[in-house]
């Protein structure tokens, strides 16, 4: 038994870490999703690999226990919004790392227009402004379920709960501007003159 005070690693490192293509792709993901370091990306990769291995094992397991585990795995991933209702095990194999990154609290907060950028979303979370229901969440990597997404908000005691807060007022104006642009683009355009003018030449 190891030292109970020493936490075990929650991720696996790649067998070949110095592949340039993978390094470049990781840099893009870290930039786009506002990740602090590569360790956060490795945790997501290990999470995805874990469920893909489970799906491969359960595909050939036709026992009652296998069916029970299959329902549990599919239920959990559907609850997280990674799979649609009625999915099968083979659909787990088609998931990629972006699907999981999109369900992180940091990403969901940005998608709901509660932050201007991924970095700002991370700042709001770590500075204890965000809650899911009555539960304060301070981990940007927290995976948000579909039920929790509906009750994601700023804490009532936070200054950001006020829609007129400078950091939120700007974002609200941007959303309204986008809506106006969409409505203007969908308005009917004036009918074009379809008459063809012909000129006669001698």
pLDDT digit string (tens) for the chain, length 202 residues: 556 666 777 788 888 989 999 999 999 999 999 999 999 999 999 999 999 999 999 999 999 999 999 999 999 999 999 999 999 999 999 999 999 999 999 999 999 989 989 999 999 999 999 999 999 999 999 999 999 999 999 999 999 888 878 877 566 566 566 666 667 766 655 544 444 444 454 4
Element (H, E) at 22: helix 20-32
What's the confidence (pLDDT) of residue 168?
Answer: 73
C-alpha distances in Å from residue 101, one per residue of 5, 105, 146, 175: 29, 9, 14, 23
Residue 76 in contact with residue 92, Cβ under 8 Å?
A: no
Residue 116 in contact with residue 108, Cβ under 8 Å?
A: no
- Cβ neighbourhood burial of 18 (10 Å; 0-12, 13-18, 19+): exposed
Whether pTM exceeds 0.85: no
In CATH, which superfamily holds the domain spanning 105-181?
Answer: RNA-binding S4 domain (3.10.290.10)
- What's the rounded Cα separation, in Å, for the pair 74 and 8? 27
- What's the rounded Cα separation, in Å, for the pair 154 and 104? 16
Element (H, E) at 130: strand 130-132
Residue 143 is given by DSSP the state B
Question: Residue 34: which of 132, 140, 138, 154 has the closest Cα?
Answer: 140
Residue ranges matching CATH 3.10.290.10 in the chain: 105-181
What's the confidence (pLDDT) of residue 32?
Answer: 95
């Amino acid at each position: 038994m190891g030292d109970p005070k020493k936490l075990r690693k929650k991720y696996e490192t790649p067998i070949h870490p110095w592949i340039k293509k993978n390094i470049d792709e990781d840099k893009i993901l870290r930039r786009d999703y506002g990740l602090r370091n590569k360790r956060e990306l490795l945790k997501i990769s290990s999470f995805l690999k874990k469920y893909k291995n489970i799906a491969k094992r359960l595909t050939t397991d036709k026992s009652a226990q296998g069916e029970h585990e299959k329902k549990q795995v599919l239920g959990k991933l559907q609850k997280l919004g990674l799979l649609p209702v009625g999915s099968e095990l083979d659909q787990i194999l088609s998931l990629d790392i972006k699907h999981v990154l999109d369900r992180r609290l940091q990403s969901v907060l940005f998608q709901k227009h509660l932050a201007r950028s991924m970095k700002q979303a991370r700042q709001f979370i770590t500075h204890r402004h965000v809650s899911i229901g009555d539960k304060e969440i301070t981990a940007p990597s927290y995976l948000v379920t579909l039920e929790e997404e509906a009750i994601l908000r700023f804490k009532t005691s936070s200054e950001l709960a006020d829609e007129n807060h400078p950091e939120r007022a700007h974002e609200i104006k941007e959303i309204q501007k986008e809506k106006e642009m969409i409505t203007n683009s969908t308005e009917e355009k004036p009918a074009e003159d379809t008459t063809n003018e012909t000129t006669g030449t001698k």
